[in-house]
Structure formats: structure tokens, C-alpha cells
Amino acid sequence: MDINEQVLKIGADAKAASRELAKLSTRKKNSILEAMADELDAQRIFIQEENAKDLVAGREAGLTNAMLDRLELTDDRIDSMIKGLRDVAVLTDPVGEQISTWNRPNGLEIHKRRVPIGVIGIIFESRPNVTCDAAALCFKTSNAVILRGGKEAIHSNLAIASAMQKGGETKGMPANCIQLIPTIDREAVKVMCQMVGYLDLIIPRGGESLIRAVMQMAHVPVIKHYTGVCHTYIDASANLSMGWKIAENAKCQRPGVCNAMETLLVHRDVAAEFLPKMGEILTEQKVEMRGDAATCALIPSAIAATEEDWSTEYVDLILSIKVVDGVEAAIQHINTYGSGHSDAIISEDEKATVQFLNEVDAATVYVNASTRFTDGAEFGMGAEIGVSTDKLHARGPMGLEELTTYKYVVEGKGQIRE
């Protein structure tokens, strides 16, 4: 069977599975999710052995430290996947929810009801935990899922998917609800993107080049975010101690993820006090700083930023820094160079804060908090499927509700249209 036939069969099997999934009760789905969590724990050693193969191959291929960090499955990260499954199991199931109900003068009763999307394809890179997170959320919302991970995590992804399938089957999970495309052949992505009639939605998770490639090939709807160019703005009224702490966390806590800060903006009135110490903190964390002229004058170790730096998602220990004249200049910079992901203001000035929140065009905006919180689990959604910077259907962290659509159910008593 060639790649085209193999992937199309996976699609057909997923379509059939989605119809069986729609019949499962919430209680049944939750028991299956718990069984998946138990099996992940039981297969922990095997999963880490398979992950070690990917890490060895990644180092030989020259992956950056940040990319290797995204790839590694430590005990804590496996614990997090297991917890994510259990968290999703106890979350409210949105399927079947009555969004609204109203009556028409002719006696018709109209219900707007939440239903599964159907079959969702997830195309992702590097982070094998996505296999677990995506499958859990899709399953809870009665969507069949087709997963296609990157070649750098193929052994890890296969091990995780296998454990989830095995665990789910012990509690009666229908066949083919969760499928992982087992080949690293890039042709599989093209076939998947064009499976009209089988796939209802594609969600790409990875670098900008992957997402743009999916968009160009796709014949089915896509929800995406191109980049995570996230900003933190230190206002003139900011508590500087808070600013130093938040900026360090936003950049350094885990630099290889989409909600890490990539640009730091500082009000000119506090730059002389704020930036030298910030430079010391970042230097200690081995962050390369790229700044405008004012920044370089205050942080001698900083190098001159280029125009390209302001719109670059580094996903590494690199940070661009700019001194601005105020909140309006910060907003203008963010709306010009940002990606609409997550942006923060550190400020004690209510007027400046309100202006920032109202005018920054981003999926998530923060006041006096790190951008690192843009995450489904941190928002109380359980494990997330991704962060969307689109504006239609889903925006920001995508939890359970964002993986559903709706239908209208109309009840009558013999009415006909005159």
C-alpha cells in the first residue's frame, strides 16, 4: 500500500470512528481517559527508552538545545501528560450543551446545541506530549483524531499513541479513534491536508515554515498560529522589582515555547534604572540581547538589533529590547511587529493599563503577569490542543469548547411555512 492509500485508509477509518464516538456517554469517555492515563504510567520506562532514541538522533542531526528540550520526556513531563488526561476526564463535557434556546411566534422551538467537529488532523513538530494532549481533548469532545508528528519524535509519538490506544481499548474505546500516521514521509502531510470528505479540520503546531506549508496545501479548514512574537512592556509606573521578575520568567523559564517573551519594551522614563539590572539578570541566564541604540547605551553587552529582530520568534535564549516613549508607542510597536499571541504590560497606572488592554491586538493580554501563562492547563481548560492567533472560530488557548461546533435543533408541531 503506497502512502496515498495508507493515509486515505486512515482517514476513512477515522470518519467511521467519529460516528461511533458520538454515541459514547460522558461517563464512558471519562473511564476510557482514566485507562489511558494508567497505561501511560505503566509504559513509562518503554516511552522513555523510545524517547532516548529520538534524543540521540536529534543531537546527531544538530538540533538546538531549545529543540532538544522540547523533545525530551522527563519523568515530570510524563507525569504532566498523565495528569493532563485525568484533568480532562473531570472537566465538563461540552458535547450536547444547549448554547441557547428560543421560541418563534409560529410556535417553533429552536435550540443551538454544541456537537463534535468530526475528524480533526493534528500536524506537529518536536513536542511528543502533543500526541497525548491532542488525543485527550479530541476524544473528550467525541472527535476522532489523526496525528502526524515530526520525524524528530517518531519513536516517542508511536510509543505514546500505542499506550493510549491500548489503555482505551480495555474500557471499550471504539477502534481508530486515535490514529498516528506511522511514516515520516512528507508526502503523508500533503495527502492529509487534502482529505476532503474525511478530515473536517487541521490544526498545525510547529514552526512558521510548517504552518505556511500546511496552509498552502490544505483543501480543508485550518486553525493556526504562525509565530509567538510575545512582548512585555515596562510602563513608567511599573513596580520595577515585579518587572525584573516577570521579564526573567517570560524569557528564561522555558524559552523554546510559543508563549515565551521575544521582545521587551521599556518606557524611556525608567529605562536608566530598569535596564542595567535587567541586563545583569539576562546575562546571568546566558541570554543574548539585541537592542536599539538606547538599550545598547545602558547594557554594554547588548548588540545592535536589526529591523528583522523585532518580528522574530527566537524560541531560544535571545531577546530583543527597545526603549519607547510611552504606552502608545509600545502598542504601536506590538501591533506592527507582534503575532497576535500574548502581550503583557507591567504597570500601576490604570489609564495606561486600560489603553493597553483595549488597543493591543492579541489573543491574550496580561496586566502584571508573565506571558508564559498562555496555556490551556494554566487557564483551567485541561491540556490544550494549541494556541490560535486566528480570529474565527477559536482564538487563544484551545480547550474543549473550541473543539466543538454547533447545530440547530428545531422542534415543531406540524408547522409549515406559508
Q: For 254-272, how does the pLDDT look when each residue is reduced to its tens digit (9 = 90+)? A: 998 899 999 999 999 999 9
Q: What is the pLDDT of residues 82-137, one digit of tens each?
A: 998 999 999 999 999 999 999 999 999 999 999 999 999 999 887 899 899 899 99
From the list 46, 70, 75, 85, the residue with the least C-alpha distance to 178 is: 85
Higher pLDDT, 231 or 84: 231
Mean pLDDT within 41-69: 94
Percentage above 70 pLDDT, the chain: 99
Q: Which residue has the cell 493591543?
A: 360
CA pair distance 246, 244, nearest whole angstrom: 6
Q: pLDDT at position 209, please?
A: 85
Q: pLDDT at position 350, please?
A: 98
Mean pLDDT within 222-233: 91
Mean pLDDT within 231-253: 98
Percentage above 90 pLDDT, the chain: 84
Q: What is the pLDDT of residues 295-339, one digit of tens each?
A: 999 999 999 999 999 999 999 999 999 999 999 999 999 999 999
Mean pLDDT within 53-64: 94
Q: What is the pLDDT of residues 203-217, one digit of tens each?
A: 998 778 888 899 999
Mean pLDDT within 43-64: 95
CA pair distance 211, 193, nearest whole angstrom: 11
Predicted confidence band at 415 (pLDDT cuts at 50, 70, 90)?
very high
User: Which numeric CATH code is attached to 230-373?
Assistant: 3.40.309.10
Contacts of 270 (CB under 8 A, 6+ apart): 234, 235, 236, 238, 240
Count the helix, strand and coil residues of the chain and give each as a percent rounded to the nearest 5: 45, 20, 35
CB 219 within 8 A of CB 196: yes
Residue 406 predicted with pLDDT over 90: yes
User: CA neighbours within 13 Å on the CB side: how many for 151?
Assistant: 12
Name the pTM for this structure.
Answer: 0.84
Residue 73 predicted with pLDDT over 80: yes
Task: Calculate the dihedral angle through the C-alpha atoms of 55, 59, 63, 64, rounding to the nearest 10 degrees.
Answer: 100
Residue 226 predicted with pLDDT over 80: no
Domains 3-223+398-411 and 230-373 belong to one CATH topology: no
Q: pLDDT at position 67, please?
A: 84
Mean pLDDT within 345-354: 98
Q: pLDDT at position 253, please?
A: 97
Q: What is the pLDDT of residues 147-202, one digit of tens each?
A: 999 899 999 999 999 999 999 999 999 999 999 999 888 899 999 999 999 999 99
Residue 383 predicted with pLDDT over 90: no
Q: pLDDT at position 102, please?
A: 98
Residue 252 predicted with pLDDT over 70: yes
| C-alpha 133, offset from chain centre | 10
Residue 382 predicted with pLDDT over 70: no
* Cβ density class 153-191: b for 16+ within 10 Å, e for less: bbbbbbbbbbbbbbbbbebebbebbbbbbeeeeeebbbb
Residue 227 predicted with pLDDT over 90: no
CB 394 within 8 A of CB 388: yes
Q: pLDDT at position 30, please?
A: 98
Q: pLDDT at position 377, please?
A: 79
User: Which numeric CATH code is attached to 3-223+398-411?
Assistant: 3.40.605.10
CA pair distance 173, 178, nearest whole angstrom: 10
| C-alpha 198, offset from chain centre | 24
Kindly list the domain boundaries of the chain, sorted by start residue.
Answer: 3-223+398-411, 230-373
